[in-house]
Amino acid sequence: MTDDNPYSRGCAWVDGEYVPIRDAKISLLDVGFSRSDVTYDVVAVWNGKFFRLDAHLDRFERSMKSLQMSLELDREQMAAILTECVRKSALRESYVEMISTRGRPSRESRSPWSFQNLFYAYAIPYIWIVEPDKQETGSHLIIAQDTVRIPTSSVDPTVKNFHWGDLTRGAFEARERGGSVVVLPDLDGNLTEGPGFNIFLVADGQLYTPDAGVLEGITRRTILDLATEHGLTAHVAPIPAADAGRADEAFMTSTAGGVMPVTMIDGRPLGDGTPGPFTMQLRQAYWDAHDDPRWTTPIDY
């Protein structure tokens, strides 16, 4: 039996048109591709509802402003395009990305301020950094030794970007050292983030997450909000990489996977080597929040 919906594997918005994801293309001349002159954001759809769509649009608009980008589309039009990509795909659980690139140079000028900035969007089936069945045993996290995070004075990590050379190098190091995921330290030896996720540690019943060198993730923010609602104390502060292995628990947070337990750091188990109670409490609270009207936007399919 074949699927008659051409968008069932995903739908994209490119050059003002909706196209099946397999047909979505950008120009080789777009400097978003050739120079990584681009920003983006990703919002999840779960059970037919956007989760914290306004927060993602807020961050996307801040990122564009920081990079001195502007679009002819307004916020409502962008939201409508994202919604239509999901609606056409009929996906109930979806990974939805919005992208703004500097665009293509004209014949008259290659100065970045002269470009017409471009907007792309797509919806595809939901992506997991760590598959749910593997989350039951937890991930083995490696703290990179050979690679440090790009300094914030060079690339602002609060602006979502495609500068992943350091993160990719770190991922290969983790693989070579027997781990499954990696977090990079900064030049001062403090934890920052991993490829597409923030990190939390739990020690003596309190949460800790790095305060600098990281994307201010929407899932990270959600966990900080939920911690307050559940009476947990959270600290946003520097975390020396050398202290990570002494934590009682650890977990990663991302739109692509939610709350993902870590049960080993650099070859040493945390606690009893299974996902910890605070991790699992917040993991459940996070997924329960996907039915909270405060944070969800239903899609009319």
User: Does one domain contain both 120 and 143?
Assistant: no
Query: What interhelical angle do 53-66 and 218-229 show, nearest 10?
Result: 130
pLDDT at position 110 = 83
As beta bridge partners, residue 49 has 46, 298
Please give the Cα distance from 250 to 247 (Å, whole number). Answer: 7
Among residues 27, 43, 208, the alpha carbon closest in space to that of 103 is found at 27
pLDDT at position 1 = 41
User: Does one domain contain both 96 and 235?
Assistant: no
User: Does one domain contain both 114 and 173?
Assistant: no
Please give the Cα distance from 261 to 274 (Å, whole number). Answer: 9
- Domain range for residue 113? 11-125
3-class secondary structure, 204 = coil
Among residues 247, 230, 233, 237, the alpha carbon closest in space to that of 286 is found at 230
User: Does one domain contain both 155 and 87?
Assistant: no
Q: What is the CATH number of the domain that holds 25?
A: 3.30.470.10
- In a domain? residue 202: yes
- In a domain? residue 111: yes
Residues in the chain: 301
- In a domain? residue 296: no
pLDDT at position 2 = 53
Question: What amino acid is encoded at 229 in this protein?
Answer: E
Looking at 125, 151, 173, the residue that finishes a domain is 125
Question: What amino acid is encoded at 85 in this protein?
Answer: C
Whole-prediction pTM: 0.95
User: Does one domain contain both 48 and 85?
Assistant: yes
Q: What is the CATH number of the domain that holds 271?
A: 3.20.10.10
User: Does one domain contain both 114 and 185?
Assistant: no
Looking at 125, 160, 179, the residue that finishes a domain is 125
pLDDT along the chain (301 residues), means of 10: 83 97 96 96 98 98 97 97 98 98 87 93 97 94 97 96 97 97 98 98 97 97 96 97 94 98 97 96 97 96 95
- In a domain? residue 3: no
User: Does one domain contain both 217 and 202?
Assistant: yes
Strands (DSSP E) contained in the chain are: 11-14, 17-20, 38-46, 49-51, 94-101, 118-125, 139-143, 181-183, 198-203, 206-209, 234-236, 249-254, 258-265, 268-269, 296-298
Strands (DSSP E) contained in 74-125 are: 94-101, 118-125
User: Does one domain contain both 100 and 195?
Assistant: no
Among residues 221, 219, 199, 196, the alpha carbon closest in space to that of 208 is found at 199
- In a domain? residue 6: no
- In a domain? residue 5: no
User: Does one domain contain both 262 and 167?
Assistant: yes
User: Does one domain contain both 113 and 214?
Assistant: no
Are residues 207 and 251 in contact, defined by beta-carbon separation less than 8 angstroms? no
Number of domains in the chain: 2
- In a domain? residue 191: yes
User: Does one domain contain both 179 and 107?
Assistant: no
- In a domain? residue 190: yes
User: Does one domain contain both 169 and 277?
Assistant: yes
Looking at 69, 98, 125, the residue that finishes a domain is 125
